Amino acid sequence: MQNTTTEKVKYLIIGQGLVGTWMSYHLDNAGISYKIINDPNIQSATSVASGVINPVTGRRIVQTWMIDTILPFAVAHYKLIAEKLKIDIIRTAPIILIHPSEQMNESFEYRLNNENIYLFKQDSIKWNPYFKITNGTGAINECYWMDLNKMTKKWKQYLIDTNKFIASHFDCNDIILKEGSVRWKNIEAEEIIFCDGLNTMHNPYFHTLPFAPNKGQALIIKVPGLPNEHIYKNNVSIVPWTDDLFWVGSNYEWTFNDDKPTQDFKDKMMSSLDNFLVLPYEVIDHIVGIRPANTQRRPFVGTHPMYPQLAICNGMGTKGCSLAPYFTHQLIEHLENNNEIEPEANVHRFSSILKEINKN
Ligand SMILES: Cc1cc2nc3c(=O)[nH]c(=O)nc-3n(C[C@H](O)[C@H](O)[C@H](O)COP(=O)(O)OP(=O)(O)OC[C@H]3O[C@@H](n4cnc5c(N)ncnc54)[C@H](O)[C@@H]3O)c2cc1C
């Protein structure tokens, strides 16, 4: 017999990637009722991400957006979730730069002596047994590596154990919007929060947001003898992965026809590895994901301008590891206490296009 009892919760979260994990973690911590729906058949960007927070970016090696605020918040919260789940998921992992060109060496030396916070010198001799070094080395401090797969799997188990997880596909056509609430099947919530990554592009309420999906690939390799306390960066990054494996990548494809691995990518990575790695390696796997990026490189956080029962936290692009803990918390503080959302991230900057679409 079908169960027709209505279950009331304050929030219904769609998606348990990195963003849904953090959204539910903060709600859980605050003792606020929620359920979370995740479709196991839709691949998450989180499952293929290397899990790195790097406080600097670009050829000019400048600080990333809001890093002074976001980094300490993220680090503190990864430690808290690790403690709660009794797992080891975060570690400091300085990035060792094996400069791919003399120009990169010069950029590094310039930044080292100008407005430098995170860069420090490295003795190339230490790295000679592992890498072919022709343009010098450097390093970046305050970088972190997170085991995202371990975290999301363990958190999912916690959600199942506490009866908050629903393994199901969510379809917007199944919701009924009411005054001050929204219903999905037998669940009545005050608010739905969309944390479903690129699936939001098919969402009738939010699909006009300027998403710019970005395909990224990586190889999983075995390199016996390479120390795994660091991240290594040349033209490619080599990042510790699970067990004794390393993640090698990535690329940024703005135009693509499918989400399949390509031979071209594999050939390019292997050619870079051959030029830069002294140690022998073996390719174990080739993985692919699509980043929920957007044209402005700023997240989408807040409520729909016409339907306040529908909220979103999305558009994390290439920086989900650092942005997700902070902006999920900010959205909850907004919904619960009416605190302001960072204007550059607030989805209300797109009010006009979000309203326009609903007039049609
Ligand atoms: C190759 C690669 C490397 C990366 N490396 C890094 C890195 O080192 N550092 C960093 O900060 N970021 C990195 N990123 C970016 C990072 O992965 C993303 O910013 C982040 O994972 C986005 O998380 P999300 O929760 O928004 O989306 P997702 O992880 O895609 O999660 C969305 C979830 O929603 C679920 N879902 C979707 N539709 C539905 C539906 N209809 N019903 C139910 N459930 C649904 C999916 O199953 C999924 O679990 C990388 C990305 C790629 C592709």
Q: What is the mean pLDDT of residues 186-210?
A: 96
Task: Give dist(CA 92, CA 140) in Å, integer.
Answer: 11
Q: Is the pLDDT of residue 59 over 90?
A: no
Chain mean pLDDT for the chain: 95
Q: Which fold has domain 57-142+212-284?
A: D-Amino Acid Oxidase; Chain A, domain 2 (3.30.9)
All CATH 3.50.50.60 domain ranges of the chain, comma separated, are 7-47+149-211+296-359
CA of residue 124 to ligand 1 center, whole Å: 36
For a pLDDT cut of 70, what percent of the chain falls above it?
98
Q: Name the pLDDT band for 358 (thresholds 50, 70, 90).
A: low
Q: Is the pLDDT of residue 34 over 90?
A: yes
CATH of domain 7-47+149-211+296-359: 3.50.50.60
Ligand 1 pocket residue status of 249, Cβ below 6 Å:
yes
Q: Name the pLDDT band for 360 (thresholds 50, 70, 90).
A: very low
Q: Name the pLDDT band for 359 (thresholds 50, 70, 90).
A: very low
pTM of the model: 0.96
312-327 per-position pLDDT tens digit: 999 999 999 999 999 9
Q: What's the pLDDT score for residue 2?
A: 54
Indicate the top mutation candidate among 13, 39, 236 to test ligand 1's pocket, ranked by most ligand atoms within 8 A of CB: 39
Ligand 1 pocket residue status of 67, Cβ below 6 Å:
no
Task: Give dist(CA 288, CA 49) in Å, integer.
Answer: 9
Task: Return the closest-CA partner of residue 352 out of 213, 208, 202.
Answer: 208
Indicate the top mutation candidate among 12, 13, 19 to test ligand 1's pocket, ranked by most ligand atoms within 8 A of CB: 19
Q: Is the pLDDT of residue 171 over 90?
A: yes
Question: For residue 256, what are the CA distances in angstroms to 69, 207, 266, 292?
Answer: 35, 20, 16, 14
CA 104 to chain centre: 27
Q: What's the pLDDT score for residue 243?
A: 83
All CATH 3.30.9.10 domain ranges of the chain, comma separated, are 57-142+212-284
Q: What's the pLDDT score for residue 244?
A: 87
- Amino acid 100 reads P
CA of residue 110 to ligand 1 center, whole Å: 35
Q: Is the pLDDT of residue 115 over 70?
A: yes
Task: Return the closest-CA partner of residue 195 out of 117, 305, 310, 108.
Answer: 310
